[in-house]
């Protein structure tokens, strides 16, 4: 972003890289080789920060402490309002007591966008500690949320990331995810469709994204 690319897709397309490979490198799910690190370093120079292959492969405390902090300060942020459980067990996390932190805003963010952080593995281990962005809060929920992946607040104060389906009884719903058993016939207090999800980058305490 600091080098002028609006998204991972834009960086890949504008440089003729495989989008899937680049996303895997950026997300940390595929090892970056020396040649790729040098290729990225050549394209990701930013004002006030000299990027090298070594920085990409092994990190650099100066960039982490000074360069990224400077860059992040110029970028838009949204509030991190809480933590959510992705699993079928009860996770009692607050999402309505003010911002806990600030994180980098998604490309399609609005003035109403907020983020929560996933704590759990039902969406897969990869998604534990990912950020989930949403901005269209519904209470009560509306029919267009059926079949959609949502941040869901239950009547018993659990907050989960689940796909909403109709339950067997009127006014109750099923909550589904690929890796966990369904939660059946529960009352939903509120829900918001997931706008986007990204892995959380942590640069010490405070601003992250």
Query: Going residue by residue through the chain (209 aa), what tens digit of pLDDT does each one get?
Result: 777 788 888 888 988 999 999 988 887 788 888 888 888 888 887 666 677 887 777 765 555 555 555 555 556 888 888 887 765 444 445 555 556 788 888 877 888 899 988 877 656 667 777 889 999 889 999 999 999 999 898 888 788 888 999 998 888 999 987 777 888 999 999 999 999 988 875 443 333 44
Determine the 3-state secondary structure of 142 from DSSP: coil
Domain boundaries, the chain: 8-74, 77-199
The answer to whether residues 103 and 77 touch, using CB atoms and an 8 Å cutoff, is: yes
Q: Is 203 exposed, middle or buried (0-12, 13-18, 19+ CB in 10 A)?
A: middle
CB-based contacts of 66-69 (< 8 A; 24+ apart in sequence): 68/203, 69/203, 69/207
Global pTM reads: 0.56
> What is the distance of C-alpha 19 from the center of its chain?
19
Choose the CATH number for 77-199 among 3.40.50.450, 3.30.70.360, 3.40.640.10, 2.10.109.10.
2.10.109.10
Separation CA 145–CA 2 (nearest Å)? 35
């Amino acid at each position: 972003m600091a080098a002028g690319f609006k998204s991972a897709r834009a960086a890949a397309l504008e440089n003729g890289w495989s989008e899937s490979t680049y996303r895997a490198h950026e997300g940390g799910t595929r090892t970056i080789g020396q040649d790729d690190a040098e290729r990225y370093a050549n394209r990701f120079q930013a004002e006030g920060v000299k990027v090298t292959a070594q920085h990409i492969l092994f990190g650099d405390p100066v960039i982490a402490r000074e360069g990224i902090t400077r860059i992040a300060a110029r970028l838009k942020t949204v509030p991190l309002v809480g933590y959510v459980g992705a699993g079928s067990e009860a996770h009692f996390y607050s999402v309505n007591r003010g911002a806990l932190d600030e994180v980098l805003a998604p490309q399609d963010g609005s003035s109403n966008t907020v983020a929560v952080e996933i704590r759990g593995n039902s969406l897969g281990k990869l998604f534990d500690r990912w950020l989930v962005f949403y901005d269209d809060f519904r209470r009560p929920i509306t029919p267009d949320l059926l079949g959609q992946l949502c941040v869901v607040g239950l009547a018993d104060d659990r907050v989960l990331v689940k796909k909403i389906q109709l339950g067997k009884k009127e006014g109750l719903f099923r909550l589904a995810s690929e890796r966990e058993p369904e939660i059946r016939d529960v009352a939903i207090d509120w829900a918001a469709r997931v706008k986007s999800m990204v892995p959380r980058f942590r640069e010490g305490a405070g601003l992250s994204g």
